[in-house]
């Protein structure tokens, strides 16, 4: 074997039109975003190069999407050890289980078009399942919703399922007709099932009248401009084909090419960093919820629905690098629909998914509240680059370069905040008397409020500066004031009435520490 050629490359390019940012007026221009991210680029690249070396990966690419633009990319290594062709933005990698999100969204699109319901029993659309023997007499029938969230009672099947990729449809039908054993009763626990997503592929085929791969490519991928993304890898141009390898006995061995088949709905997609960035931008564009025309192939609300699961949460403690060295971070996890839904101690609300497959590994992280997505592809069996993707997301967040989007302040909340300013200044509730909800004075009398306002002023004095209220939603928010001898943190919550009245108003004083 020739020695492994390694070349580090940095590429910057714009997305094609058709994928728009959430707030173009407030968005920095592409060059500004690239320049900002370039300040932490050496750290990002170091994360991936370390993973490449430690995991024995022949070739890797990685990308950062911010507000609809692919603003940073990097790559190292080769598409093929034999030819030493370096990886690039058009190199075509298998992304394994990151394919599941496309299958899930296709199901939601069919639902939106009135062709199925998520609570349909799967046997309504796949008749071969009608004769399956369930594990208990009280087991519910498998719903489409259960397959989406891996709660159908089917066994965890990564090792076996990955090798079923090229299974012909007629052989898959035979498996279904024979019935499958259950690991648990449906709807009782989370258990990751590749077979469940192969079943969803069959649902798409039967309901749409088109093979699932054709439906997904025609209805989702091509409208997004993903022109080089496919399921049948044997149709890929050799010039861009990334060959897969495994590392064993201290050497690389080529993995066999797995062609297209019934299990492609769980892991079959081949794509490039340039194409996949369009998908990431499209997903992120569903946040925040807002007015405006729907121009994408699937409704924004349906994309956001992918973040809903069946409530089988798990908690993990993971090792990460902190400012002062290694540390433990907590992660609460559940599975949505083709995406993992995470409450991350460091990153907050996160959507993610990995891909592990013979010859390939991949990972994507989405931070919808920041309009930020990061992803990476590798061409070594199960070399999922989750750690460098997450570490890169953390360093971008900690740098302050990708601040969370602020929720717009509604007119009702702005009016309530103005009333709160006047209430504190006057020392009583009279400026807000027409805005109070019916519970407000029942919970606390006007006289008690006057005494409390006097106490606060005695502690920290009059307000001398303030900042705009920060909305938590259309009907609630928080604020902070600078006062003569300290600060006040406050909160407002409006009632679910029309017009919304003030149901809660809170002030918490913090006097300046005495020397």
Distance CA 258, CA 268 (A): 9
**What is 476-499 written as a DSSP string?**
EEEEEEEETTEEEEEEEEE-SSSS
Q: Are residues 370 and 504 in the same domain?
A: no
- Which of the listed residues 351, 376, 399 is the one where a domain comes to its end? 399
Count: domains in the chain: 2
Task: Tell me whether residue 157 is in a domain.
Answer: no
- Report the side by side order of strands in the sheet with 325-335: 8-11, 69-77, 59-66, 372-378, 360-367, 348-357, 340-344, 325-335, 314-322
Predicted TM-score of the model (pTM): 0.90
Per-residue pLDDT of the chain (515 residues), as tens digits, is 232 333 334 333 333 323 333 333 333 455 666 677 878 999 999 999 999 999 999 999 999 999 999 999 999 999 999 999 999 999 999 999 999 999 999 999 999 999 999 999 999 999 999 999 999 999 999 999 999 999 999 999 988 988 899 999 999 999 999 999 999 999 999 999 999 999 999 999 999 999 999 999 999 999 999 999 999 999 999 999 999 999 999 999 999 999 999 999 999 999 999 999 999 999 999 999 999 999 999 999 999 999 998 889 999 898 887 666 788 889 999 999 999 999 999 999 999 999 999 999 999 999 999 999 999 999 999 999 999 999 999 999 988 888 888 999 999 999 999 999 999 999 999 999 999 999 999 999 999 999 999 999 999 999 999 889 999 999 999 999 999 999 999 999 999 999 999 999 999 999 998 76
Structure tokens at 82: 């034999």
Q: What is the CATH number of the domain that holds 481?
A: 3.10.450
Q: Are residues 477 and 452 in the same domain?
A: yes
Distance CA 435, CA 415 (A): 9
Distance CA 509, CA 122 (A): 57
Structure tokens at 483: 């006062």
* In contact, 233 and 270? CB cutoff 8 Å: yes
Q: Are residues 415 and 287 in the same domain?
A: no
Task: Tell me whether residue 139 is in a domain.
Answer: no
Task: Tell me whether residue 415 is in a domain.
Answer: yes
Q: Are residues 217 and 301 in the same domain?
A: yes
Q: What is the CATH number of the domain that holds 249?
A: 3.40.710.10
Distance CA 376, CA 289 (A): 28
Q: Are residues 249 and 391 in the same domain?
A: yes
In the block, tokens 């891909």 appear at 355
Task: Tell me whether residue 75 is in a domain.
Answer: yes
Q: Are residues 446 and 389 in the same domain?
A: no
- Which of the listed residues 356, 371, 399 is the one where a domain comes to its end? 399
Q: Are residues 74 and 51 in the same domain?
A: yes
Identify the sign of the CA torsion 222, 227, 230, 234. positive
* In contact, 63 and 279? CB cutoff 8 Å: no
Q: Are residues 274 and 375 in the same domain?
A: yes
Q: Are residues 224 and 95 in the same domain?
A: yes
Q: Are residues 255 and 327 in the same domain?
A: yes
- Which of the listed residues 399, 430, 454 is the one where a domain comes to its end? 399
Identify the sign of the CA torsion 204, 207, 213, 217. negative
Distance CA 104, CA 266 (A): 10
Segments forming the whole domain that contains residue 466 = 411-511
- The pLDDT value recorded for residue 32 is 65
Q: How many residues does the chain have?
A: 515
**What is 254-270 written as a DSSP string?**
EPPP----TTHHHH--E
Q: Are residues 262 and 219 in the same domain?
A: yes
Distance CA 261, CA 311 (A): 31
Nearest alpha-carbon partner for 354 in 344, 368, 366: 366
Q: Torsions phi, psi of 188, nearest 5?
A: -110, -15
Nearest alpha-carbon partner for 289 in 407, 185, 174: 407
Distance CA 134, CA 88 (A): 49
Task: Tell me whether residue 424 is in a domain.
Answer: yes
* In contact, 389 and 253? CB cutoff 8 Å: no
Q: Where are the beta strands (DSSP E) in 29-89?
A: 59-66, 69-77
Task: Tell me whether residue 195 is in a domain.
Answer: no
Task: Tell me whether residue 115 is in a domain.
Answer: no
Q: Are residues 357 and 441 in the same domain?
A: no
Task: Tell me whether residue 425 is in a domain.
Answer: yes
């Amino acid at each position: 074997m020739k020695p492994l050629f390694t070349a580090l490359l940095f590429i910057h390019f714009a997305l094609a039109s058709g994928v728009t940012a959430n707030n173009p007026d407030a968005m920095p221009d592409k060059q500004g975003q690239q320049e900002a991210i370039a300040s932490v680029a050496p750290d990002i690249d170091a994360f991936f190069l370390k993973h490449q070396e430690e995991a024995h990966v022949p070739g890797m690419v990685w990308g950062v999407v911010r507000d609809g633009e692919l603003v940073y990319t990097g790559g190292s290594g080769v598409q093929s050890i034999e030819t030493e062709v370096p990886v690039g933005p058009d190199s075509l990698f298998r992304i394994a289980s990151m394919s599941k999100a496309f299958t899930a969204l296709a199901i939601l699109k069919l639902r939106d078009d009135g062709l199925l319901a998520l609570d349909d029993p799967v046997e309504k659309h796949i008749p071969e399942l009608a004769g399956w023997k369930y594990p208990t007499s009280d087991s519910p029938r498998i719903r489409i919703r259960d397959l989406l969230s891996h709660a159908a009672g089917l066994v965890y099947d990564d090792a076996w399922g990955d090798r079923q990729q090229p299974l012909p449809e007629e052989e898959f039908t035979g498996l279904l007709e024979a019935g499958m054993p259950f690991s648990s009763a449906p709807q009782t626990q989370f258990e990751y099932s590749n077979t469940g997503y192969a079943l969803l592929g069959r649902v798409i085929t039967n309901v749409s009248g088109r093979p699932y791969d054709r439906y997904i490519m025609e209805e989702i991928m091509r409208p997004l401009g993903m022109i080089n993304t496919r399921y049948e890898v044997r149709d890929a141009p050799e010039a861009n084909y990334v060959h897969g390898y495994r590392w064993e006995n201290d050497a690389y061995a080529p993995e066999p090419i797995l062609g297209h088949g019934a299990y492609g709905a769980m892991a079959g997609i081949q794509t490039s960093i340039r194409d996949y960035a369009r998908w990431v931008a499209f997903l992120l564009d569903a946040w925040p919820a807002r007015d405006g025309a729907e121009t994408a192939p699937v409704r924004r609300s349906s994309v956001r629905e992918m973040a809903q699961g069946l409530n089988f949460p798990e908690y993990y403690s993971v090792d990460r690098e902190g400012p002062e060295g290694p540390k433990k971070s907590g992660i609460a996890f559940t599975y949505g629909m083709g995406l993992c839904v995470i409450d991350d101690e460091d990153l907050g609300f996160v959507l993610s998914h990995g891909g592990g497959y013979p010859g390939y590994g991949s990972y994507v992280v989405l931070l919808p509240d920041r309009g930020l997505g990061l992803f990476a592809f590798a061409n070594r069996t199960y070399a999922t680059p989750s750690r460098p993707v997450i570490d890169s997301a953390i360093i971008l967040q900690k740098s302050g370069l990708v601040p969370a989007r602020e929720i717009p302040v509604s007119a009702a909340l702005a009016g309530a905040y103005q009333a709160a300013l006047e209430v504190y200044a006057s020392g009583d509730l009279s400026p807000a008397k027409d805005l109070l909800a019916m519970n407000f004075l029942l919970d606390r009398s006007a006289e008690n409020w006057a005494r409390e306002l006097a106490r606060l002023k005695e502690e920290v004095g009059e307000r001398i500066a303030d900042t705009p209220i920060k909305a938590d939603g259309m009907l609630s928010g928080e604020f902070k004031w600078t006062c003569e001898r300290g600060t006040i943190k406050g909160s407002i919550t409006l009632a679910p009435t029309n017009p919304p009245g003030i149901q809660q108003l809170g002030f918490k004083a913090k006097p300046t520490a005495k020397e």
